[in-house]
Structure 1
Amino acid sequence: MDQVIIGVDTHKSNHIAVAINTHGARLGEKTIPTTSRGYRDLEIWASGFGQVKAFGIEGTGSFGANLSRALMAKGHVVMDVMRPNRQIRYLQGKSDALDAEGAARSVLNGQTTALAKTQTGTSEMLRHLKVARDSAVKARSQAMITLKTLIINAPVELRDTLEKINGRITLIRHLAAWHQPTQINSPTASAKMVLRSIARRCLALHEEVDGHDRELERMAHEKAPGLMASHGISTMTVAEMLILVGDNPERIRSEAALAKLCGVCPVPASSGKTNRMRLNRGGNRQANAALYRVAIVRMRDHEMTRAYVAKRTTEGKTRREIVRCLERYIVREIYRHLCGSQTSPRPV
């Protein structure tokens, strides 16, 4: 039986699929709704051309998430396809069918090698919690800025009273304990009502963030207890790495692949007689920032890391180059904990 590859261009309300065979010949095109029935119809339609070798889907983490989950649950190989090359799109034109065909051909020619995340386990739950936490932290910061601005512009007698209170949480609780004014008949009354409202919002968001933090810490301890015990690695760093790796860590083939995914692999920047490497500005920037924080913490108070920094400094390395090297070592440690062998990793 002939093997076929299916490329899918995903959208909010429908997906466009194109089938090609292993010789690159286009076999057909189909549009399906983003429903369970549409996913079943796509599988039946694809099977009509022969044995499905793989599905290449754009946006497996967004519009194509449910489709990729449904196909992987049926045992199909699902590849995560990057967006089309802009130069090729400019030369060949843009349409949903062309994008779907390009996704299939990128799987055929080996350009796409990344397996999609299963998104059915602890890593997906961590992602949900972290999205909610980050949103609550942002809203809390915005509420605090608004509160401080209102206090600065409040009537002078009210402002003088509030400036005597020390501590952010103490101030917020003091404002939240005010009684609701029965009638707004002066700027002082309106200021009191608004300050009380925003203070209560801050407290609610603070409790929400604390609840998310407790749940994230519990799940991170259950999923990666060894990594949680490593020096300088916090709960948010472990959660970020678990989200990045996903629930199927076998898709990360090597520590070099994880380093590239985090944007910490060295990039050649040599020309002529100059032979050097530069920082990688690609990859997952949230994971990259988490690794940077770990490196800075270890450079401050971790004996082995401080000895390494001193050694590299004597060799003529700049601080930026040393941080890049440290991040690469930290990725190696994380890889061994999350998706590598069972040998006990050594900290940097």
Structure 2
Amino acid sequence: MTSILQAEPTGKVVVGVDTHKYVHTAVAVDTVGGVQGTTSVSADRGGYEQLETWARQFGQVLAFGVEGTGSYGAGLASHLRRHGHKLVEVNRPDRRVRRQRGKSDPIDAENAARAVLAGTATATPKSAEGSVEMIRHLKIARDGAVKARTQAMVTLKALIVTVPDELRQQLQSLSKMALIERCAGLRPGPVTSPSASAKHSIRAMARRWKDLHDEVKEHDALLGELTKAHAPDLVDAFGIGADTAAEVLVTIGDNPERIRSQAAFAKLAGVCPIPASSGKTNRHRLNRGGHRQLNSALYRVVIVRMRFHQPTIDYVTRRTAEGKTKQEIIRCLKRYLAREIYQHIKAKQPPTQST
């Protein structure tokens, strides 16, 4: 009797791809688990076409399981999508599997193919070819500028603590914007003394902060225009501004139909309730999984609504009277908010698309 490992090729394969910056490694596995071939191609258009031609020699390609579709595999994913192939996003293998089988590019590619065959990898990657991809680019630049601006202010204030007494007394009592303007206007002159070098450094920090502040405002203006054009109802919702809307849209992607239900979106955001019951205790706890940046954005919206949104204030009062803790109330509100956001996103999809 022929074993599974010795079975004849079925004419249908799943291709797993381990992606890297310059080279992608692929393994073709048939539907009974037999490895049909391994190859490595360059991470460019010619390599993508070579990989596609190589895969077809084994018969019908059921799907491509690709690691890193949002990074090194983005170009390959875009190429395969344009040529009509089914694409599945594969996460990094479990560490226990790597301990058992070892680590190499062909092994990782084979694991990706087997994850698709086993049904453990089912996620549809983001298409990254529309206005949401534009929002993602701007948000990355904005977040980097905000982080650098914060660091510039921290460095400036730390430097002021150690400058000569006369200069420190002039600066330490000023408000933030007054401090920036005063420091940016300093005239150190020739750097021949500690006071002059301190003024030179402080002025450089203040001018860096102003440049970064102007950059952040420019990014905010562009993000406001793009998010308003892409999802006006989402931006107009109470407590959801351009930055929060951008985080939501970037997480969902240009093809929101890949998120099939509001419960799936809640799980993606890490706000679905996790059972934590035992014996006579029946309760749920916070979910510490999911997309943490999106979860943080929902948290900020909930905190704003708990303070300024009257229906939310009434809800908090009622649930507090029922004995719920603040943490449990926030968990419930984030779940409700996820449902509300999903309805805004779903309303934008054409009726013929699957949701």
Structure-2-length-normalised TM-score = 0.92
Q: Establish whether residue 315 from structure 1 lines up as the match of residue 333 from structure 2.
A: no
- 1:214 lines up with 2:213 in the alignment: no
Residues of 2 paired with 1:79 and 1:266: CA distance? 27
User: 2:62 aligns to what SS in structure 1?
Assistant: strand
In structure 2, give the amino acid aligned to 1:226: D
Where do 1:158-173 residues align within 5 Å?
A: 158-163=167-172, 166-173=174-181
Match of 2:68 among 59, 74, 81: 59
Shift, 1:92, TM fit: 2.3
| Aligned position for 1:301 | 308
Q: Structure 1 stretches (4+) deviating beyond 6 angstroms?
A: none
Q: Which of the residues 137, 149, 163 maps onto 1:128?
A: 137
One-letter amino acid matched to 1:188? S
Report the secondary structure of 1:32's partner residue: strand
Separation in structure 2 between the aligned mates of residue 309 and residue 46 of structure 1, nearest angstrom: 57
Which of 326, 342, 348 pairs up with 1:335? 342
Aligned to 1:251: 258
Q: Distance in 2 between matches of 1:142 and 1:63?
A: 29
Q: Distance in 1 between matches of 2:172 and 2:317?
A: 47
Match of 1:345 in 2: none
Tell me, in whole angstroms, the C-alpha distance in 1 between the residues paired with 2:168 and 2:317.
51
User: Comparing 77-86 with 269-278, which one deviates more in the overlay?
Assistant: 269-278
Q: Deviations over 1:91-147 (max 9, x none)?
A: 222222121111111111211111011111111111111111111111111111111
Map of 2:230 onto structure 1? 223
Q: What amino acid does structure 2 have at the position aligned with 1:201?
A: R
Instruction: Give the counterpart of 2:38 among 4, 23, 29.
Output: 29
Alignment equivalent of 1:188, drawn from 189, 195, 202:
195
Deviations 1:210-229 (A, max 9, x none): 11111111111011100111
What is the Cα deviation at residue 289 of structure 1? Answer: 0.5
- Following the alignment from structure 2 to structure 1, what is the Cα–Cα distance between the partners of residues 326 and 316? 8
Please say if 1:7 is aligned against 2:16.
Answer: yes
Give the share of equivalent positions with the same residue, in percent: 54
Residue 3 of structure 2 corresponds to none
Q: Is the 8 A contact 2:188 2:197 kept in 1?
A: no
How much is the aligned-residue C-alpha RMSD, in angstroms? 1.6
Q: Deviations over 1:236-255 (max 9, x none)?
A: 11000000000000100111
Count of equivalent residues:
340
Equivalent-residue separation in structure 2 for 1:209 and 1:95 (angstroms): 42
Query: Contact 2:29 / 2:36 at 8 angstroms: preserved in 1?
Result: yes
Where does the alignment leave 5 or more consecutive residues of structure 2 unmatched? 1-9, 350-355
Q: Distance in 1 between matches of 2:317 and 2:16?
A: 51
- Provide the rounded CA distance (Å) in 1 between the counterparts of 2:315 and 2:31: 51
Shift of 1:324: 0.8
Measured against aligned partners, the alpha-carbon deviations of 1:311-347 in whole angstroms (never above 9, x if no partner) come to 22232222111111111110111111113578xxxxx
Q: 1:190 to 1:212 in 2, by over 3 A?
A: same
**2:27 counterpart SS class:** strand
Quote the Cα distance in structure 1 between the aligned partners of 2:47 and 2:14. 18
What's 2:246 paired with? 239
Distance 1:160 1:240 in 2: 42
Deviation, structure 1 residue 232: 1.0
**Counterpart-to-counterpart distance in 1, 2:178 and 2:298:** 34
Residue 162 of structure 2 is matched in structure 1 by 153
Amino acid in structure 2 at the alignment position of 1:176: A
Distance in 2 (CA, whole Å) between partners of 1:298 and 1:132 is 28
* TM-score, normalising length: structure 1: 0.93
- For residue 42 of structure 1, give the secondary structure of its aligned residue in structure 2: helix
- What is the rounded CA distance, in whole Å, between the counterparts of 1:86 and 1:195 in structure 2? 48
Is 2:290 the partner of 1:283? yes
Q: Distance in 1 between matches of 2:95 and 2:282?
A: 30
CA displacement 1:269-297 (0-9 Å, x = unmatched): 23344332211111110000011111111
Q: Could you tell me which residue of structure 2 aligns to residue 175 of structure 1?
A: 183
Structure 1 unaligned spans of 5+: 343-348
**Cα drift, residue 161 of structure 1:** 2.4
Equivalent-residue separation in structure 1 for 2:348 and 2:216 (angstroms): 35
Matching of residue 200 in structure 1 with residue 223 in structure 2: no
Equivalent of 1:42, from 47, 51, 60?
51
Give the whole-Å Cα distance in 2 for the aligned partners of 1:118 and 1:298: 33
CA distance in 1, matches of 2:288, 2:258: 23
Contact 1:252 1:339 in 2 (8 A): no
C-alpha distance in 2 between matches for 1:74 and 1:173 = 56
CA contact (8 A) 2:286 2:331 kept: yes
**Counterpart residue identity of residue 175, structure 1:** C
Q: Which amino acid aligns with 2:289?
A: G
